[in-house]
A and B are shown apart, each in its own frame.
Chain A
Amino acid sequence: MTSTDVVVVGAGPAGIAAATQTARAGASVLVLDEYSQPGGQYYRQPAEGICPTSSARIFEQSERGHSLILEAKQAGVAFRCEALVWGAFTDGTLAVHSAGTSEVITPGKLILACGAYDRSVAFPGWTLPGVMTAGAAQALLKGQGILPGRRILMAGTGPLQVAVAAQLAQAGARLVGVLEAVKLGRLVSSGPRFWGQWGRLREGLQYWRTLRSANVPLTFGRTVIRAIGDGVLSAVVTAELDDDWSAIPGTEAEVQVDTLCTEFGLVPNTRLARLLGCQIVYDPARGGLVPLYDDAMQSSRSGVFIVGEAAGIAGAKAAELQGRIAGISAALQLGKGDPYQCGQRIAAAKRELRSELRFARSLNETFAVKPGILKLLTDDTIICRCEEITAGEFRHERPAWISTLDAARTVIRVGMGNCQGCMCESLVAQLLAKEAGRKIAEVGSYHIRPPLKPIPVGALADLSEKLPPPPNRMEH
């Protein structure tokens, strides 16, 4: 059993910032990450053995990430990669799976920086090979220098897909277009909300210019309504959308592609937080289900902090600032660090954080997925990818008592597969709310149980040797 002052789960911007501050305050800190290298999505590092040969803008984030990771290591932060935190128990222990074996770690304080995943928007054919998220395309490009396909269409909403499109274009990918679901008129009228964000507008313009010079058209008010192919993707049907994101009949167009990258926003990864019993609320302007936290980024469970996208979708800068606040706060709780200096640093971070959160809120609201998109679901459209459950199974003969995610999961089996609801939770919540005539906040969430991700029976069995014996089975 390993014991350390602070354990940080997730080595993205928030986790790195938190760990660095904790280490500087004099506490021992271990960062656990599932991937083979630290950096998360935002600071994704090129894989070992693959070298960037220039300082192209594609690598800006990777380079910054690299120096931050180095700084963290120099401050004394220990990184353990390919380490999966799969369980958290009432005695304060964490179960971690790494290199084929499981072990138990007991942190003094815990900082969750688990990031987010892409929101699932379903449409007929979305499970065809060739349909992937923009995040997947970006991971392939930045991490391995591999393009996702030969003829690529991007569809979705928000600035993230524009950034990914620009990076793909720079790398020589053949992009047939980028479709933004929100109409240009609406974006323009939202303009005043982003007043003062000159750096970001500049960045956005640069991406747009990159696309222009690569002859990649950016189309507004349009999105994918159907993916077509015989076993694999071969074409996409798109249509114009109204303000509610319902497809406008008569505006369909078909385009031949082998790859469709979708990006409809991010969903905070709150699974470990929920397993720990941290309170959550539904806040669509922060990405959906988010944890409650106080000024120090501490959750409703004492000693457990939650930062970064896992605390609400707000971007890398906010993640870093939140990480700093939690890292310092966790150390202070352990009696480490100079209270005055730490207080000053926290206050400075909070000031910057306020405007970051305001901007993030505006962004999320402007590019929020609208309910009209649910009309794309036919009875045959899959809504739970793992268990292959269709919208039809959901809709028809649904009794009145299946009006919560818990009930839906128990009876209809959505969320019962390998991913345990990661991908379908937000989609099923939207669909159930619509079908049952309830608000999304009322349908609840999936009940989280360990393991958070699959582990082999053998590994769990082997772990028993490192644990106290369980109470004897009762004789009767």
Chain B
Amino acid sequence: MEHEPRRVSAFFRRGRPVQIDVDGEPVQAFEGETIAGALLASGRRILRHTPKGSARGVFCGMGACFDCIVEVDGDPGVRSCITPVHQGMKVRTPKPFQRGK
């Protein structure tokens, strides 16, 4: 995981380090970052898989497209691009599912 190349060190001072759990794996983040931001910074572009199985990541980055939705602490459909991380946050990325029977 290459963290620094994605995080700008010039111009910005990070807040406190924060650790979140994404699909059972620990991910290092910093206070103030969004879930999507932290994942991108850790080199991870895929945020979920659609029902049909296509990978999706950040698209609009402003909470309009709902491509970035993940489950946070048991709550589904959370827009990771506008939701700040907090220590111990449990994130689950949506998986494909069979619509209908």
User: Does residue B91 face the partner (Cβ distance < 8 Å to A)?
Assistant: no
User: Does residue B70 face the partner (Cβ distance < 8 Å to A)?
Assistant: no
CB distance from A111 to the nearest CB of B (A): 20
A215-259 interface with B by 8 A CB criterion: 231-233, 258
* Contacting residues, chain B, for A135 (C-beta < 8 A): 60-62
User: Does residue A423 face the partner (Cβ distance < 8 Å to B)?
Assistant: yes
> Given A130-B57, A137-B61, A139-B62, is A52 in contact with B12 using a C-beta cutoff of 8 Å?
yes
A52-91 interface with B by 8 A CB criterion: 52-54, 56, 58-59
> Given A36-B84, A129-B45, is A52 in contact with B59 using a C-beta cutoff of 8 Å?
no
CB distance from A134 to the nearest CB of B (A): 9
User: Does residue B88 face the partner (Cβ distance < 8 Å to A)?
Assistant: no
User: Does residue A422 face the partner (Cβ distance < 8 Å to B)?
Assistant: yes
* Contacting residues, chain B, for A268 (C-beta < 8 A): none
Mark the stretch among A143-151, A291-299, A330-338 that contacts chain B.
A143-151
User: Does residue A285 face the partner (Cβ distance < 8 Å to B)?
Assistant: no
A236-292 interface with B by 8 A CB criterion: 258, 269
* Contacting residues, chain B, for A232 (C-beta < 8 A): 45-46, 55, 57
* Contacting residues, chain B, for A392 (C-beta < 8 A): none
Please name the residue on chain B nearest to A141 by beta carbon: B8
Mark the stretch among A13-21, A43-51, A364-372, A436-444 that contacts chain B.
A43-51
Would you call A144 and B60 a contact (CB within 8 A)? no
A453 to B69, CA, bound (A): 13
A402-460 interface with B by 8 A CB criterion: 417-419, 422-423, 453-454, 456
* Contacting residues, chain B, for A130 (C-beta < 8 A): 45, 57
* Contacting residues, chain A, for B6 (C-beta < 8 A): 146-147, 149-150
Would you call A50 and B15 a contact (CB within 8 A)? yes
CB distance from B71 to the nearest CB of A (A): 13
CB distance from B62 to the nearest CB of A (A): 6
Interface centre among B51, B58, B81 (most CB of A within 10 A): B58
Would you call A35 and B82 a contact (CB within 8 A)? yes
Cβ proximity bits B38-52 to A, threshold 8 Å, 1 near / 0 not: 001100011100111
A41 to B63, CA, bound (A): 11
User: Does residue A324 face the partner (Cβ distance < 8 Å to B)?
Assistant: no
Would you call A136 and B31 a contact (CB within 8 A)? no
User: Does residue B16 face the partner (Cβ distance < 8 Å to A)?
Assistant: yes
Please name the residue on chain B nearest to A231 by beta carbon: B55
User: Does residue A388 face the partner (Cβ distance < 8 Å to B)?
Assistant: yes
Would you call A454 and B33 a contact (CB within 8 A)? no
B4-28 interface with A by 8 A CB criterion: 5-8, 10-16
* Contacting residues, chain A, for B16 (C-beta < 8 A): 49
CB distance from A177 to the nearest CB of B (A): 19
Would you call B40 and A140 a contact (CB within 8 A)? yes
Would you call A47 and B8 a contact (CB within 8 A)? no
Interface centre among A118, A146, A150, A423 (most CB of B within 10 A): A146
Would you call A136 and B46 a contact (CB within 8 A)? no
Would you call A418 and B77 a contact (CB within 8 A)? yes
Please name the residue on chain A nearest to B54 by beta carbon: A127
CB distance from B69 to the nearest CB of A (A): 7
A146 to B14, CA, bound (A): 11
Would you call A388 and B51 a contact (CB within 8 A)? yes
A46 to B33, CA, bound (A): 9
> Given A117-B64, A130-B57, A146-B37, is A56 in contact with B45 using a C-beta cutoff of 8 Å?
no
Please name the residue on chain A nearest to B50 by beta carbon: A388
> Given A50-B30, A50-B32, A231-B46, is A148 in contact with B63 using a C-beta cutoff of 8 Å?
no
Please name the residue on chain A nearest to B48 by beta carbon: A129
Cβ proximity bits A166-180 to B, threshold 8 Å, 1 near / 0 not: 000001100000000
- Residue of B40, B57, B84 touching A146 (CB-CB under 8 A): B40
Would you call B61 and A418 a contact (CB within 8 A)? no
Would you call A139 and B61 a contact (CB within 8 A)? yes
Interface pairs A-B: 6 shortest CB-CB: A136-B61, A49-B15, A129-B57, A145-B12, A47-B32, A49-B32
Using CB atoms and an 8 Å cutoff, list the residues of chain A in contact with chain B: 34-36, 41, 46-54, 56, 58-59, 117-118, 127-133, 135-141, 143-150, 171-172, 231-233, 258, 269, 385-386, 388, 417-419, 422-423, 453-454, 456
9 of the cross-chain contacts (CB-CB < 8 Å) are: A127-B56, A135-B60, A137-B61, A144-B33, A145-B14, A146-B7, A171-B10, A232-B45, A418-B69
